[in-house]
Chain A
Amino acid sequence: MNSPMAQLPLLDPMVQWLLEPLQAGFMVKALWVSAFVGTVCAVLSCYITLKGWSLMGDAVSHAVVPGVVVAYALGLPFALGAFVFGFGATVIIGYVKSQTRLKEDAVIGVIFTGFFAFGLVLATKIPSNVDLFHILFGNVLGISPSDIIQTLIAGTTTLVVILLRRKDLLLFCFDPNHAKAIGLNTQLMYYTLLSVLALTIVTALQTAGIVLVVAMLVTPGATAYLLTDRFDHMLAISVATSVVSCILGTYLSYHLDMPTGGTIVVLMTILFAVAMIFAPKYGILSQKLNRHLPGAETRST
């Protein structure tokens, strides 16, 4: 088991499949960065799925594009630009919704596509060495040290905020009226959740890219939601499926030369599909079986 590296070729192929990429420094980095990103996204995704904010996640991720472009052009950290524009978009969405009779999904649709389009136009007009393809699809295998630092800061901030406010945020998702009734500042919690959402997207930008980040923000939570009725279990399952997908996805993308973000999301989706079909209580199979048992309890819609 403790065989020195020199004996690598003798190890069984599975172990070699796992160890060989680690000899490349960028792969070690890519693996732990993606595992970290997977953890942050998974924690937040529990709140996002329960709050029904998936579309908002999609909106924020697209709205960060002009921020990233501007940041690169001005030589600022990409995370700063992305956060300002991502969070700014949510504030604008809230404002437009309160001032018009439009439903929220229409407002979100208008604002985020507007931001996104503006970002695309900017990217071609502002001279900078920003690679649009990397913003859109992520590039964890080529992540730079400064990007790693920004990812770590954004992700750690998110985790700390959620850790400190996790009960209140959960109450806010479940019953904002009760939160208000006991004197909590629900307005503040609304913006707290939006800012950690924007921070999480900043965290995942380099790994998954703008187009796919919403999957990392929704799928792990959705998978876990199908598997349990307890929030702490939901958190654990969400993190587990997410981290497994991130690590395995990074390996697969290395070995099979596939895009990392895409591979991770495909794995997450496969896990979701498995949960959807085989979940012990809320899976399609068990719901079909239970339907024929008298007195079977199901989570009704």
Chain B
Amino acid sequence: MRSDTFGITVENISVTYSNAHLALYNASCYVQPGTITGLVGPNGGGKSTLFKTIMGFISPNQGRVHIDGLSIKMAQKRQLMAYVPQADDVDWNFPVSVGDVVMMGRYGYMNMLRIPGREDRKQVAESLDRVGMADFRHRQIGELSGGQKKRAFLARAMAQNSRVILLDEPFTGVDVKTEKRIVNLLLQLRDEGHTILVSTHDLASISTFCDRTVLLNRTVLAEGQTADTFTDENLSMTFGGMPLKGLSSHASTLSSPVKPSYE
């Protein structure tokens, strides 16, 4: 029924890895267009797996994904999807510069030889500027700090100019200032109409920028407006058994229907 709606529709996904580990089962959720949706769950809860399924990197053994009503393949062909990988999925010793990486975001718009045109160069320069990495464009990608690496790949996603952007743990290992900066960029991108799905372990910051939240532990346990979803009960269900003292104090303030300050 949702295959003609915008946003990301995940219907009843199950993923089994080759070692027979069932990483996700019957996971369904909906990411509204033009929102930032936070994806929260414990380590091994299947966040990256869900991302890779949505991006079409792994194929689920059951279920379907639609992006703006299109199949994953069609969405890829139309440059609708960008992905910012978790840092350990990248070969940092590869002989490419920051500028090269960001330019890769433009390949989908170029002819077969991938010779950048004026528009491509402009987009790359703008994206680098917006993430504050213009001075680093000739650096080899391994020679960056953790936060700079994240920003470089965010710039690639921005240069791609795709409607949907998925970010896998963009805040891991970055300092408060860089996190703020990335959050601000995400808010800007949302206001420009992008649909953003972001996984994070920083539960405290979720209510400050995520319009909606999806709680995931091998399946989707709860989803909806952050204020409604981010409750004590839901969190302890998601993180099961984990002492939630520190979190619940956040969660209880969050569960009150205060609008995040950014809105």
Residues of chain A whose beta carbon lies under 8 Å from any beta carbon of chain B: 50, 101, 164-165, 167-168, 170-171, 173-175, 177-178, 180-184, 225, 228-231, 233-234, 297, 299-300
| A-contact bits for B100-117, CB 8 A (1 contact / 0 none) | 100011011000111000
Q: Are A297 and B143 in contact (CB under 8 A)?
A: yes
Is the C-beta of B96 less than 8 angstroms from some C-beta in chain A? Answer: yes
B residues less than 8 Å from A297 (CB atoms): 143
CA A174 to CA B97, docked complex, whole Å: 12
Is the C-beta of B79 less than 8 angstroms from some C-beta in chain A? Answer: yes
Partner of A177, one of B89, B112, B114, B142: B89
Closest chain B residue, CB of each to CB of A171: B104
CA A194 to CA B89, docked complex, whole Å: 23
Is the C-beta of B40 less than 8 angstroms from some C-beta in chain A? Answer: no
Q: Are A299 and B57 in contact (CB under 8 A)?
A: no
A residues less than 8 Å from B82 (CB atoms): 181
Is the C-beta of B76 less than 8 angstroms from some C-beta in chain A? Answer: yes
Q: Are A228 and B143 in contact (CB under 8 A)?
A: no
B152 to chain A, nearest CB (A): 12
Is the C-beta of B261 less than 8 angstroms from some C-beta in chain A? Answer: no
Partner of B76, one of A183, A225, A229: A183
Contact A180 B57, CB 8 Å, known A175-B90, A299-B142? yes
Partner of B107, one of A164, A168, A228, A229: A168
Is the C-beta of B43 less than 8 angstroms from some C-beta in chain A? Answer: no
Contact A181 B91, CB 8 Å, known A101-B18, A297-B143? no
> Number of residue pairs across A and B with beta carbons under 8 Å?
76
CA A300 to CA B142, docked complex, whole Å: 8
CA A184 to CA B112, docked complex, whole Å: 11
Residues of B in contact, count (CB < 8 Å): 36
B49 to chain A, nearest CB (A): 13
Partner of A50, one of B55, B78, B95, B100: B95
B189 to chain A, nearest CB (A): 17
Q: Are A167 and B114 in contact (CB under 8 A)?
A: yes
Contact A181 B76, CB 8 Å, known A50-B94, A297-B143, A299-B93? yes
- Chain B residues numbered 149-175 whose CB sits less than 8 Å from any CB in chain A: 156, 160
Is the C-beta of B147 less than 8 angstroms from some C-beta in chain A? Answer: no
Q: Are B55 and A164 in contact (CB under 8 A)?
A: no
Q: Are A174 and B107 in contact (CB under 8 A)?
A: no
Q: Are B90 and A171 in contact (CB under 8 A)?
A: no
Q: Are A183 and B112 in contact (CB under 8 A)?
A: no
A residues less than 8 Å from B76 (CB atoms): 180-183
Q: Are A180 and B107 in contact (CB under 8 A)?
A: no
Q: Are A167 and B113 in contact (CB under 8 A)?
A: yes
A300 to chain B, nearest CB (A): 7
B residues less than 8 Å from A175 (CB atoms): 85, 90, 104
Is the C-beta of B260 less than 8 angstroms from some C-beta in chain A? Answer: no
Contact A174 B55, CB 8 Å, known A164-B113, A181-B81, A181-B82? no
Q: Are A177 and B85 in contact (CB under 8 A)?
A: yes
Is the C-beta of B200 less than 8 angstroms from some C-beta in chain A? Answer: no
Q: Are B19 and A183 in contact (CB under 8 A)?
A: no
B residues less than 8 Å from A229 (CB atoms): 95, 97, 140
Closest chain B residue, CB of each to CB of A297: B143
Contact A101 B95, CB 8 Å, known A177-B83, A181-B82? no
A residues less than 8 Å from B55 (CB atoms): 177, 180-181
Partner of A181, one of B83, B89, B97, B140: B83
Q: Are B95 and A182 in contact (CB under 8 A)?
A: no
Is the C-beta of B56 less than 8 angstroms from some C-beta in chain A? Answer: yes
Closest chain A residue, CB of each to CB of B115: A167
B residues less than 8 Å from A165 (CB atoms): 112
B206 to chain A, nearest CB (A): 25
Q: Are A182 and B108 in contact (CB under 8 A)?
A: yes
Partner of B104, one of A101, A178, A230: A178
A sample of 19 more A-B contacts (CB under 8 A), given A180-B76, A233-B95, is A50-B94, A101-B19, A171-B104, A173-B94, A174-B91, A175-B85, A175-B104, A177-B55, A178-B156, A181-B56, A181-B82, A182-B105, A182-B107, A182-B160, A183-B77, A228-B95, A230-B97, A230-B140, A299-B142
